[in-house]
Amino acid sequence: MAEQKQQQKKPSIFKKLTRFAKDVHSELKKVLWPTRNQVINNTIIVLVVCLLLGGVIWILDGVLGYIYKLVFA
């Protein structure tokens, strides 16, 4: 019984880290990376949507603040 435990040692932490790094590298090779133009277009879309939503929130805050002042002032 003791002999079987010695033969079935767990791999060391360095072997585990090496295997993990190899697996990560292998998976990253499978990734379909976006082109430069796709990244630029998506970034512009995100910025425009953030600005629009910020504007909508700003307008709603102003309108609701005005209504609040009318009701409670």
pLDDT single digits (tens) 28-53: 999 999 999 999 999 999 999 999 99
The residue behind tokens 């932490």 is 13
pLDDT band at residue 10 under the 50/70/90 scheme: confident
Q: What's the pLDDT at 5?
A: 59
pLDDT band at residue 3 under the 50/70/90 scheme: low
DSSP state for residue 9 in the 8-state scheme: P
Structure tokens at 37: 């133009």
Dist CA 32 CA 35 (whole Å):
9
pLDDT band at residue 1 under the 50/70/90 scheme: low
Angle at 9 between CA 21 and CA 20, to 5 degrees: 10
